[in-house]
Amino acid sequence: MTAILMPPPTPDAAERRLLLVVDAPSLLHRNHHARAQSGLLDRSGRPAWALHGMVRQIIEAIEGFRPDALVCGLDDRTASIRRELYPDYKAGRAEKDPDLVDQLDRAGALLGALGLAALTPAGLEADDINASAARWAREHDWNCVIITSDRDAFAHISDHTRVLRLIDGGLHGSPLLTPARLHAMYGVSADQYLAYAALRGDASDNLPGVEGIGAKTAAILLDVAGSMDAVWADLDHDGGRSVVAALDGWAAETGVRRLGATAVRRLMASGARARYDFNVTMMSGRDDLDLGLTPDVPGSVGLFPLDVDRVRRVVGFLGVAATTELATRVLSGAAAAPAPLSAT
C-alpha cells in the first residue's frame, strides 16, 4: 500500500507523537453506499459491507500514518442534545437504509472487541470526539489527524491538527487539509472557519445561514474585519460604519462593486445576530470530553500493537481473508496465519 503522506513538518512538529482520530460514522456511511452491491455478510449472516469497509480503511490509515495512538468517535444514536435544542437538526436527510442502521448500531462493539478505543459520547456525536481530540493534541503537544467527511472539523485545523477530508476517491484520493490549504480553499483561516460556517449556514444539518450572507461575502467580511466579534462591536457601537468603510475599501482595491452597506444592512436585520449565535452553538464541537488516553501506560486502549489472537478472531468474523491478513500484520505486527475464509 502506498503510504499516506503528511505535509513536510516543521522541526518541532516532527518530534511530536501522532494521534489519529477516526469519525467512524463517516466511514460507515461512505462504505455502505460504495459497497452495498457486494452483499457481504459476516459469519452470522448479517450485513457487513459497511463494517468491513470501515475496518479496512482504519487499517490502511494506521499503516499509512503510523500513529502512536488512535481513537474512533461514534454518534450516540439513542439521544441528541442538539436535536433537543433544535428538533429540525439534520431534518430533510433521506431515511437510512435498515442495513446501514444495523451496521451503525454494531460498529462500536466491533471496534471495542478489536481493542481499539471506540468512544460514544452521551447525547453527542463523533464531531465532539474530533473537537476534544484536537484540544487534547494541542495541550499534550502531539500532532493529530482527523479522518472525516464533516466540514465542521475544519475549525480544528491548526499547527497541531490536520483533517483528512473523505471524498469519493477514498483515503488516498482525499485531501489532507492544513491551515494553508484550508485558506486556499475557503479564503478564511482555521480560527475563522466556525464564524464563516455560522454565517454561511450548513444545509446538510438543516442550519440556514444569515439571510443574504453567502459563502463569498462571509469570507470577505472575515478577511477584512478580522473577526465577527469586531464586526458585531462596530454594529453595536457605531452602526457598522467601520465595517462599511473596510468592505468598500476592499472593493475599491479589487475593482468590484461596493458591498459594505448591503452587508451591514443584512447583518443588522432582525434575527441575523440570533441566527449567527445559534449556528455557532450548534456547530461548535464539545472539546472537553475525556478520551481516556493514557499513552505512557503500556497496554492502554488506543495504543498499538493489538492482541494478535483478538485481531484474527474479530476481523476474521467479517469473512474477508485478505483484510484479516492485513489487520494481523498492521495492528499486531505479527505474520498472518492462513485462515479458512472466503476472499471478497
CATH 3.40.630.10 fits 11-184+287-304, yes or no: no
CA distances, 86 to each of 9, 75, 286, 289, 326 (Å): 41, 17, 17, 22, 43
Q: Is 284 exposed, middle or buried (0-12, 13-18, 19+ CB in 10 A)?
A: middle
Nearest CA among 329, 279, 322 for reference residue 304: 329
Cell 449472516, residue located: 45
The residue extents of the domains of the chain are: 11-184+287-304, 192-283
Mean pLDDT per block of 10 residues along the chain (344 residues) reads 46 82 97 95 97 97 95 97 96 92 97 96 98 97 96 96 88 92 95 97 96 96 96 96 96 93 97 98 97 90 93 97 96 57 30
Domain 192-283: top CATH class: mainly alpha
pLDDT at res. 10: 54
Give the tens place of pLDDT for each residue, 230-245. 999 999 999 999 999 9
Note the pTM of the prediction, 2 decimals: 0.91
Q: Does 11-184+287-304 match 192-283 in CATH topology?
A: no
pLDDT at 169: 65
Q: What is the pLDDT of residue 338?
A: 39
What's the pLDDT score for residue 344?
30
